[in-house]
Amino acid sequence: MLMPVVVRCLFVVVALLSCARAQVQYSALKDPQSPQGIPYTRYYTTDRFNRRITFYVYGNQDERLPIVVSVLGSGAFSNFIRRGDQILDAHRTAREVFGERAHILIVEKPGVDFLEQHPNRGTAIQGSSEFRKEHTLDRWSEAVSAALRAARTLPLSGPNRCLLIGHSEGGIVVARVAAENSFITHVATLAGGGPTQLFDLLEAARAGRLYKDMPPDADKQVAKLLADVAVIQSDPLEPITVSVLRISGVATAGRRSSKMFGIGFLNSARGRTTLCRQTLTEKS
């Protein structure tokens, strides 16, 4: 009779530990030494891969407002860059457009240090080995999701509306995050493609403008692209790269009831973000 009781107790303990870990997992820890010279407060959280995720929140931390998550495109670079004596961020447009009407939340890519920049911004060529390991669709999406969930535990988080904005590769990422979190109400993908990234690449190849070092011959460019994809697909270390090529952000986000819209290229980033603000602040 003793053994069944012990087993039941063990199950209860394991369940309690799992619940406790889940609660701690997405808690937000404020950095007492947030970088000076930036209009953000730095926080940390732990995601389901047990990684420390760094994120930043803009705005009056004492006011409850909607959260706007802004995710940039591909590349091993920080959200912040030093220019002379100033530290600038790539989300200035979102900050200026939303003003004091929302909190802007940005997440540093795992494997990228604060202020880290490289000449080839859109690639991982000069990124760290940690970045190349961590920057897959599921792991990057989890980092963004963990930061958002942690931020929602803070008093600053408004409970009703949450907007995700993703540019280029970020459009696919926010679509994935929205599909995994039912509380997200609005999703915007800016120049993130419609069907898939592979479709976009094929369209560029068919127009003869994908490979700059090749003649603008559609058949040759398409053949080159398909050969390159086959090489990537044959590499056992690159399954996520292939999945990103074949994933449609629009279809992924469509698994939830979030309001979603996609925009190609407007004349300015401000124009794109203004549309996002109008959607987030509409009375509906």
The pLDDT assigned to 70 comes to: 96
CB 177, CB 54: distance < 8 Å? no
Separation between Cα atoms, residue 47 and residue 150, nearest integer Å: 9
The pLDDT assigned to 256 comes to: 56
Per the DSSP assignment, residues forming a β-bridge with 190 are 167, 263
User: Given a cut of 50, is residue 10 above it in pLDDT?
Assistant: no
User: Given a cut of 50, is residue 72 above it in pLDDT?
Assistant: yes
> Please, which contacts does 36-42 make with residues 24 or more away whose CB atoms are closer than 8 Å?
37/86, 37/87, 38/80, 38/87, 38/89, 39/95, 40/89, 40/106
CB 79, CB 43: distance < 8 Å? no
> Considering just the CA atoms, what is the radius of gyration of the chain in Å?
21
Separation between Cα atoms, residue 280 and residue 272, nearest integer Å: 13
User: Given a cut of 80, is residue 14 above it in pLDDT?
Assistant: no
Section 209-220 average pLDDT: 91
**Among 183, 182, 165, 156, residue whose Cα is nearest residue 66:** 156
Question: Residue 18 belongs to what H/E stretch?
Answer: helix 2-25
CB 66, CB 162: distance < 8 Å? yes
If one compares 67 and 8, the residue with the highest pLDDT of the two is 67
User: Given a cut of 90, is residue 16 above it in pLDDT?
Assistant: no
- For 24-194+248-280, CATH gives 3.40.50.1820
- Start-end ranges of CATH 3.40.50.1820 in the chain? 24-194+248-280
User: Given a cut of 70, is residue 244 above it in pLDDT?
Assistant: no
Separation between Cα atoms, residue 106 and residue 128, nearest integer Å: 20
**Among 205, 167, 165, residue whose Cα is nearest residue 188:** 165
The pLDDT assigned to 215 comes to: 92
pLDDT digits (tens, 9 = 90+) for 80-113: 999 888 998 989 889 988 988 999 999 999 999 8
pLDDT digits (tens, 9 = 90+) for 180-214: 998 999 998 887 766 677 777 888 899 999 888 89
Q: Which residues of 169-185 are buried (b: 16+ CB within 10 A; e: fewer)?
A: bbbbbbbbbbbbbeebb
User: Given a cut of 80, is residue 159 above it in pLDDT?
Assistant: no
Section 241-264 average pLDDT: 54
Q: Round to the nearest angstrom and report the end-to-end CA distance of the chain.
A: 59
Per the DSSP assignment, residues forming a β-bridge with 13 are none
